Structure 1
Amino acid sequence: MFLVVKLMCDMFYWSITFGLFFGLLSIAPRGVLGQIAYTRHISNLRIKELMNLADRLDHSIYQEHPPCERYYEYVCNRNQPMFSIMGNLPSERELISLWRELQNDGDGQKFEAKNKMLSFHLSCCIVKSVDDCYRETFDYFRPVFGYIVAHKHMEMHDHQNLIDLLERFISRAKNTEHFGSHLFKFKMEALRERFKDPRVYFKTNDLDEEYKYVRIYNDGYDHNIKALEELRKSNNSTYMRGVPKTILDWTMYMYQSRNKPMSYYMSTLNVHLWMMFYNSSARMDPAKYGRIADCLKLPPVLNVLDEARLMAVIYIKSFQQAWAEYRDWIVSTPVTNEIYDHENEILKRYKLDNKRLFFTLYAQNFCDFGKEIAENVFFLGLKQNQDFYNVYSCGYQTPKGAECF
């Protein structure tokens, strides 16, 4: 039985490999395997991804509900949020592609953590579907996937995009709420420098040490799950905290988000950075944030708990900063302005533009909060934004309340 399952898994891997190879040939006749083709300032790969993003967004939002009156239903009712604030899980195709790269990586032939990953996947194949096993393997061996991304995918323009985004965040934040003397400033500057070469955090010896005490058996799925869960819950995991965790998160975010437009990066990673900053600031000065909450006239559902009031202010402030940063980026150079206009030309076919894309992806971060809380966060933040009203042609606007900040 074991040999049969192994043979089936091996046959599946090879069939996928050939499928990926010919798929890449078909989507990029002048790119990927050679010089990447560009149309104006945007690569053809990015154009393809923008169209894919627009198509997915069309299936994610609920067009029958008018966004101005029922924004929660419009954004969340189909219960298919596309991305979290730190990106999304890789697609099946992406996982298989990374998997094959790990298997064929000559630099890691004696890579014990990789061997344990392969053994775990094999044990999973005996009791579960292959698709489920790819997901579980990624979940438990994320640092190993981080290794292949850091060593094979850091020459992409997306890496430079994220470095530029970090630079812009630090530059903007320096003029915000005493950021210059804030410990968060030094943390972000250090992370920015370390993210320039994340390979430092994904060495085979370090990954072997990470999984050193985890025993994995080819046919012991239940035992393997228990052992990996114990590692996750213990304090021994290097990649569950501190700088290594952040570098792993950013590395996988970069791979999962490649070829996305800047409106995507700004509504996910940039919002996340501002939330990290304001969260640390709020803990240091809760009275100030309490005054802002009072000024905003938060509804009772948010006033019941101090933590809810605090987080509502953090979300709204983070959204405002991320949106302002995106607007600045659009007009920062003639090239960025042309990119923005070209992307909007493409999105127009789907009755979308970059601003709608930004507002929708931002709002989908709050779908899991439930309708009452989410709608209050949406409208406290979005109803103060003139661009939001212009984009959706709402025709009315509540007082901005800018004095609250």
Structure 2
Amino acid sequence: MNIISQRSLLAIALGTLLAAGFNAPADARQDPREQDKQQHDKQAKHKAGADKAGKQAPQRQQHVPAAQANARAVEARQDAIARQRNAEMESQRAAQQRSAHAQRQAQQRQAQAAERRQQAAAQQQAARQQAQRRQQAERQSAEQHRLAAKRAAERQRATVAHRDLDQQRLERQRSERRLAQQRQAAERREHDARAAQEHARQEQARKQSLVSHRIEQQRDRISRQEQQRRIDQQRQRAEDYRRYVATRQALERQRAMQLQQQRRMAQYRYQQEYYRRVHLQQQRLAAQRYDYHSNPYFYTPVNYRYGYGGNYYTTNRYGADMLRQAVNYGYQEGLRAGRADRYDRWNSNYRDSYAYRDASYGYDNYYVSRSDYNYYFRQGFQRGYQDGYGDRYQYGRYDQGNASILQAVLALILNLQYLG
């Protein structure tokens, strides 16, 4: 019985070892932790079986050494197999660890490569964005430069156009000044010629009048007292006029400086011509010598009545002629003054003219008072100025180089009443 039992135990142990050997490849393919657990379970079962077998056969103690030797051999083989299995498992674990380490390194390399790719992509994106911003800045700068160049070109064109306009305006003003100077020179020559002719005509008329009145002096003469009164009145007028002329020079200089400061060159030239004509007239008056007793004005009776400002005055035909002359001379001077202000593009204001204030051109202090002459001269001047400034002939006419007020306007201004 003991021999049979021992043989049975050996067969079981060998079967177990063989089964373990056959199953080793499959176990090797299992997870190392699972294999360790299975090995531990098997060793525990084997130990339990051995313990049971030892209890059931105490009577087989005589055969223990042989069984122990066999068991040790089995255990040695099992240990060898376990060591081999552990070595294989360690090798597999090392291979798995190496594989896992390689995978981790590969993953790290892939992650690093991906990170580098992302960084490269980010850098490329940043470079593209920077390039786009640079291109946009360059476009904006180019656009700003283009707009600045365009504005500069427009300013230059405007400057050139403005300069051209100024040049054209200056040329036009120079042309107008030249035309005005030529016109004034022609008018001055015509006026001087007319003045000389008028003076000669007046002298001739006076001489003829003297001759005719000498014949009729007995019939038309006034009383000697009235004649002497007129002579005394005339001498007083001459003295008053000389005092006025002496005080007028300062006024002339002041007015000339004012016109120059105002840059009214056309009006300045006209005023200079007016001064020149007045001074020539004064020289002629200073050179003349009158014989009061032979002059018909001083013994011809009054036969005309005129009035202004609510007062009425009387005179003879010589005084009436002087009043007509005052209106005509005033019209001619006003025409020149109005044209000058129009050339200067000055506001219309006939009262501002020195000729209007002076109102004595043509006055030789004979036949009428200076205040009467001034009044009618200014009446003609006002209408002549309006015609000259407006470049028209509403109150006068221009015939053969001579401007004169219309007879209807003259009659309306003087309103002379013939007394018979």
Instruction: Settle same-fold status: TM greater than 0.5.
Output: no
TM-score by length of 1: 0.25
Larger radius of gyration: 2
Which structure would you say has the larger RCO, counting Cα contacts within 8 Å and 6 or more residues apart? 1
* Greater share of helix: 2
TM-score by length of 2: 0.25
